[in-house]
Amino acid sequence: MATTTVNHLTNHHQLSSTTNRHRITSYFNDSTLNDINKFSNKSIRLAKSITNLLNLSIDKPSLKSLLQRFNQNVVVQADSKLDLPTSSPKEDISTLWRQIHGGSDWENLLDPLHHLLRREIIKYGEFAQATYDAFDFDSFSEYCGSCLYNQQSFFNKLGLQKHGYDVRRYVYAMSQYEIPRWLEKSYVADTWSKDSNWMGYVAVSDDVETRRIGRRDVVVAWRGTVLPSEWYEDMQRDLEPLGHGEAKVERGFLSIYKSKRVTTRYNKTSASDQVMGELKRLVKFYKERGEEVSLTITGHSLGGALALLNAYEASIMFPTLPISVISFGAPRVGNIAFRDELHHKGVKALRITIKQDLVPRMPGIVFNETLQKFDDLTGTLEWVYHHVGAELKLDVRASPFLKRGSNFIGIHHPETYLHLIDGYVSSTSPFRPDAKRDVALVNKYCDMLVNELRIPPCWYQLSNKGLVSNKVGRMVRPKRSSEDIPSPPIEEENLDV
């Protein structure tokens, strides 16, 4: 039965891939791109060398003209999508969910990328992106570091009710170490919390989505950071033991996941305690109803690291539960023993990376899994960082809509990841012309789109940066609605009950 399902999924995938290749070939088979291919970087460098030797000059205006034609073609592509929906109709994956959830480690589904898997990756990526869109980054706000919205209105406020999930709990975190750029703090003296940050949420698929995806899906989404230039400075880089075995993980990640303090309002219990308590209740509730349950943990950047720690702990509490991690731009978290323990516990991990992104190379830029080839000489090095799971590697240069260059913040941003996933077909194929996601979303918090599209950088912000005109015409900061003021989580006395 399982073999038949896998073959069905693979055959479906091959047919879809053949159709996509036909579309892409016909779409990009024009004189503009053929001409531009003649002016590849290698060709230009070679031409310049020969020209210098012969004291000739390259016809620069012709190259400029070609690039102008190419950029104009990009604008035409973008304009042609303005009246089209931003997502495809949902397809039933109830008979295929185990493969899409990583049951076979996504074998034969990543390159080329199966269209059903692409849609699910984007869904979980948007859950991770939501942790940024709903986060109060305003250091002049008394609620800086909290969520802008209450649990009931969360997905509606962010336009994500289409996915069919309901938020069940918010998660708060703190750190016993000083990690100033990972946890935001307010300049206001009388603030909602001096120690904690809103760090994510637990959500559950509703009945309609549950029928479509073939099981009750419990999701944990962890918030990360979008400032990769500060990672090296802030990261502790020390490995600490996790559990009783040889597994070790990065000290700063573990501190955020496990820290608590009785004197705080929001972290009398740790982020770990809050999440695991909620997961225990939800899994028990739906299992007792006879439902099939899965756990999907997602996060971007730092959030991807916390997702792996969460998965490790969940695999101990729920040894038979299907657990998958979908991370975006996540760093290395632990050593080879940590990786091996996750594998032996059945945790499936899919990490999406961008070739030009710096964060997935950290920590362990030098001492990492590449040293494994020298194990015969060095033995297993327990202090060397290792990535976990399968990798889907993207490339900024694949999209005609993105700028080239060293915009490290823009490259690392989750919206850039989602854009590249939406257009990804395979490692040898160009950006797919029928990508659905709105290209303008890329510039929400950065400046990555080519200027010809005329999408302003960092356009996603509150009107007047949150200020409103009061009854006498003065611009003031409004009070938050009472239902959006953060409430301390319910303290768990005993997670084993």
Residues with a known catalytic role: 301, 357, 412
What type of residue sits at position 68? Q
Q: Dihedral through CA 337, CA 338, CA 340, CA 344, nearest 10?
A: 130
Helix (H) or strand (E) holding 468: strand 468-469
Helix%, strand%, coil% for the chain, nearest 5: 40, 15, 45
What type of residue sits at position 72? Q
The rounded distance, in Å, linking the Cα atoms of 267 and 205 is 27
Nearest one of 412, 312, 277, 309 to 354, comparing CA atoms: 412
Q: Dihedral through CA 118, CA 119, CA 121, CA 125, nearest 10?
A: 130
Written as one string, the DSSP assignment of 186-252 is -S-SS-S-SS-EEEEEEEEE-HHHHHHHTSEEEEEEE---S-GGGHHHH----EEE-SSSS-EEEHH
Q: List beta partners, residue 153.
A: none
| Pairing of the two strands 390-394 and 348-354 | parallel
Residues with Cβ within 8 Å of 378's Cβ and at least 6 positions away in sequence, in order, are: 371
Q: Which two tokens stand for residue 273?
A: 């305690």
Q: Do residues 489 and 169 lie in contact, with contact meaning Cβ atoms separated by under 8 Å?
A: yes
